[in-house]
Chains A and B, each alone.
Chain A
Amino acid sequence: MLLEPTVDGLWCEAGGFHVDPWRPVPLAVVTHAHADHATPGCGRYLASERTLDVMRVRFSKDLEGTPVDWGTPIELGQCRVSLHPAGHVLGSAQIRIECDAEVLCVTGDYKREADPTAEPFEVVPCDTLLTESTFGLPIYRWPDPSTVFERMNAWWRENAAAGRTTVFLSYAFGKAQRILAGLDASIGPIGVHGSLVGPNSVYTRAGIRLPDVLRADADSAATLAGGGAIVCPPSATGTPWIRRFNGPEGARMGFVSGWMQVRGRRRWRAVDRGFILSDHADWDGLISTVRASGARRVGVTHGSSEVLARYLQEKLELETFVVPTRYVGESPPTSAAPPEASTDEGVPDREREE
């Protein structure tokens, strides 16, 4: 196969590069700038321009990277490599690798729903598809995002009227900007956690329209308390930082994630509301993507790998295999969840006892 799993991640012998390596390597082709896909410290990066922008904001200004234009192949060793939008977050790419008339595509993380803050997903016909499977169970079917945003705004309006600050918990890059773009700024002032400021600047520079926001800090606390909405990472829950924005009637926490499809998840987090909004493909999105690619061999990674692989084998009669990810002991979302810091869906990982 064109890509082989190694201790550093997926390695392409024919092209002399790694895809989304999890340890520093000389040459990394990166799907997107989330921490579980982009590792700092590599010699050189090939990625979309936006992905490099975000990586520079988050890792280092002096990062050695070459932007690759959408759909324009470059030669690496004996391979032709091109990037195609994955629709996951701004700049997120699928990586198409062609070598000796064989085509392989690594989807990275992707979604099929419309999202004004990410380039729309493009189907890449291929022989072998490596697909993610974060939500690879048929219980995950996303509601129309516009309905979810209506609910989020209605909830904010309701909270503001009652003197309660509204807090949306979400990963700082990607989901957070998608939320900002969907919020109705006429309801009240919007405040953002410091970790959103860098990514926000990349989005605005890329011409994505985000509402005016305040950096949520001591200076803006009085403005935001009560009628405002705050977007911040889940790790801010329960900190003195978040408490300073409490309105006269306190604050309400809403968790924005695909995991919120399951009620037990919401209770586990003890949030007031869960909003089902994901940057990953749901079950139907995964199946239809596999079908549309025309691939005969499908590698499944990152999530419910075994389940999706078995289903594709039994139902679609495809050759399937499981591709290891960087997580040890990866298992369905209700068991050991990946650590919060490195997942874009912010799966809760609260220690219970011992």
Chain B
Amino acid sequence: MRRFTDLYLALDGTNSTAEKTAMLVDYFHSAPDADAAWVVAFLTGNRPKGTGATGLLRDLCLRHTGHPAWLFDECRSAVGDLSETVALLLPPPDTATDEPLHVVMRARVLALIGVDAEAKERIITEAWTVLDAESRLVYHKLVRGGFRVGVQRKTVAKALAKVAGVDLDLVVHRLTGRFRPTAADFRRLLDPPSPDEHLDRPYPFFLANGLEGEVESLGPPTDWVAEEKWDGIRAQLIVRNDSIRLWSRGEESIGPMFPELVAAAQLPPGTVLDGEVLIWGEHGPRSFFELQRRLNRRVAPAPQLSLFGEESARFIAYDLLESDGIDRRPEPFESRRSRLERLLAQRTADVIGISPLVPFADWSELAAIRNGCAGRGTEGLMLKRRESIYGVGRTRGEDGWIKWKVDPFTLDAVLIGAQPGSGRRANLHTDCTFAVWDRREEPACLVTFAKAYSGLDQAEIESLDRWIRTNTVARRGPFREVRPEQVFELAFEGIQRSTRHRSGLAVRFPRILRWRKDKPADEADDLETLAGLLPASGT
């Protein structure tokens, strides 16, 4: 555990990606596989859920220290983090024993799940007697779930690739899907490549960039195809042997939430499609909001299927990554597209559909089509080069996918702070400050560009307010700085240079379109994208 605590504190204590990678390489080299497996799980977002013992931590801490509750709350508000507050308040242990991380996980964290309050108390109290003060902080975070460290997934993959001496893309692929924190799974990350190894996981998603500059700069329109940019959940439909899986880009298995899609996906084994999950209404795709309602439902038992009736989900495929069990990603787009069309042509069920190509003769015609996308319920257009392969992650330039969204401008920003609104919202943090990544800096840092009032509904406002209160890292008067973790899609009408915000840019009429709970902060938009929206005159 101590080794992991040191790693956690060291990662937390540096801003340099190179150093973080070096620390991880060190750790993966020296830690037992069973411990390293947990670290991979924590750092790649496959964190265990909470154990439901959060409230107990505070109560137990009060009992152990004899402090009054009001004093605890003062401390909590000064620290901005419950795990850390409890760790700072507890008296130091008499003797600390160094147990391996995986033992702590099994005996002192996972053991909390499903036992009664008395047993939980016993387990936590005993943990406090063996853990040193800093390890307790880490322990509390594990107990509460949602454990986060400021390390990008890619950094973890790089470190693993270095330790294993294998290709980075291979490790990225191996980390795709839900990583199970066992020693055997960790060793498998480091294995030499083998042909069948990816059978149970999705491919790394190929991500799109916003259009930079004028569309004409892309060259001859005949080199490109255009598709609608769907406003749904990006997902891979994976049909292999006798299993059908649906993986979201957030790397959650979302099949159980969309049973009608899984039921309809009778495709030949060895097929992987990339596409978008949408709720389809009478007049086309419904808003993202409808999808979120479905996501929140988590599992729809079969008898309820009929309830979805007219509001059924569809999977709109736009790429084919695997057919006949063969990885087709290195083939040019056109070839993958014709395979996709042949595959889906034999089908009549429209639950699994195909994203139609949008024909256009020249860029100006396409621009006009794009302007009409609101009527078609899409966000704009996607542009893909006919010759391009299906890459890994985000590829800039011509070989990448380009999203050409329609006005109003929208982008995904990170919430960095908030203060209470006024009147009815006086007690709720609705006045939010947003930032985008400045990637000119290494490591990237967040720069503010907009303050926006919540366009969320009352339930979301309240839920966001709770989140802000429990994730405050610093306070300046009524302004609370929060952990930069939550991503929101903002819309705005115009953009100009301004000294009002750190980014040097200000936007007109910013408003929150939606809370992107599905998107990690790392993937929010960057300053370059924002600056790319400036009018050509640049001022």
Contact = CB atoms under 8 A, between A and B. Distances in A.
Given A272-B15, A336-B477, A354 B500 contact: yes
Interface of B: 12-15, 65, 67-68, 70-71, 74-75, 77-81, 84-85, 88-89, 417, 433, 445, 448, 451, 473-477, 479, 481, 500-502
Given A334-B78, A352-B448, 9 more contacts: A139-B75, A139-B79, A267-B12, A270-B445, A332-B74, A334-B79, A352-B433, A352-B479, A353-B433
10 contacts: A262-B78, A264-B84, A266-B13, A311-B68, A333-B78, A334-B79, A334-B475, A352-B448, A352-B479, A353-B502
Nearest to A266: B13
A315 B474 CA distance: 28
Contacts of B88: 138-141, 261-262
A78 B77 CA distance: 45
B13 A353 contact: no
Contacts of B71: 137-138, 307, 311
Contact of B80 (A141, A264, A273, A310): A264
A334 B417 CA distance: 14
Interface in A297-354: 304, 307, 310-311, 314-315, 329, 332-336, 352-354
A336 B475 CA distance: 7
A261 B80 CA distance: 13
A36 to B, nearest CB: 20
B217 to A, nearest CB: 33
A285 to B, nearest CB: 16
Contacts of B74: 137, 304, 307, 332
A296 B169 CA distance: 70
Place the interface of chain A in its size category. Answer: 20 to 34
Interface in A157-215: none
Given A268-B481, A353-B502, A262 B79 contact: yes
Nearest to B14: A272
B310 to A, nearest CB: 46
B5 to A, nearest CB: 13
B433 A138 contact: no
Contacts, number: 86
A311 B75 CA distance: 13
A267 B89 CA distance: 21
B476 A314 contact: no
Nearest to A272: B14
Nearest to B80: A264
Contacts of A310: 70
B77 A332 contact: yes
B501 A264 contact: no
A20 B88 CA distance: 33
A138 B71 CA distance: 8
A311 B502 CA distance: 41
A263 B77 CA distance: 13
A268 B481 CA distance: 9
Given A334-B474, A334-B475, A353-B433, A139 B78 contact: yes
B477 A335 contact: yes
Contacts of A270: 15, 445
Given A264-B80, A334-B474, A273 B13 contact: yes
B80 A353 contact: no
Contacts of B13: 266, 272-274
A261 B81 CA distance: 13
A335 B475 contact: yes
Given A334-B78, A335-B477, A314 B85 contact: no
A138 B65 contact: yes
B75 A137 contact: yes
A138 B79 CA distance: 11
Given A262-B79, A264-B79, A352 B89 contact: no
A195 to B, nearest CB: 26
A266 B13 CA distance: 8
Interface in A211-268: 261-268
B484 to A, nearest CB: 10
A87 to B, nearest CB: 23
A140 B459 CA distance: 37
B68 to A, nearest CB: 7
A334 B77 contact: yes
Contact of B474 (A137, A139, A264): A264
A272 to B, nearest CB: 6
Interface string A273-289: 11000000000000000
A136 to B, nearest CB: 9
A263 B448 CA distance: 22
A184 to B, nearest CB: 21
A334 B448 contact: no
A313 B394 CA distance: 60
Contacts of B77: 332, 334
- Enumerate the 3 nearest inter-chain pairs by beta-carbon distance, A residue then B residue, closest first: A139-B88, A264-B473, A335-B475
B476 A335 contact: yes
A138 B451 CA distance: 35
B473 A138 contact: no
A311 B74 CA distance: 12
Contact of A138 (B14, B75, B80, B417): B75
Contacts of B65: 138
Contacts of A268: 473-474, 481
A335 B81 CA distance: 15
A140 B65 CA distance: 14
Contacts of A274: 13
A336 B500 contact: no
Nearest to A139: B88
A353 B501 contact: yes
Nearest to B91: A141
Given A139-B89, A264-B474, A334-B475, A352 B481 contact: yes
B80 A314 contact: no
Contacts of B85: 139
A262 B500 contact: no
Nearest to A273: B13
Most buried by A among B75, B448, B501: B75
B78 A137 contact: yes
A264 B81 contact: yes
A311 B448 CA distance: 39
A154 to B, nearest CB: 13
Given A262-B79, A268-B481, A307-B74, A353 B448 contact: yes
A315 B89 CA distance: 17
Interface in A101-148: 137-141
Contact of B476 (A137, A264, A273, A352): A352
A334 B80 contact: yes
Contacts of B81: 263-264
A222 B380 CA distance: 56
A223 to B, nearest CB: 25
Given A138-B71, A264-B473, A268-B481, A332 B14 contact: no
A352 B78 CA distance: 19
Contact of A336 (B15, B70, B476): B476
Contacts of A140: 88
A167 B85 CA distance: 29
Nearest to A264: B473
Contacts of A137: 71, 74-75, 78
A263 B14 CA distance: 12
A170 to B, nearest CB: 18
A138 B88 CA distance: 8
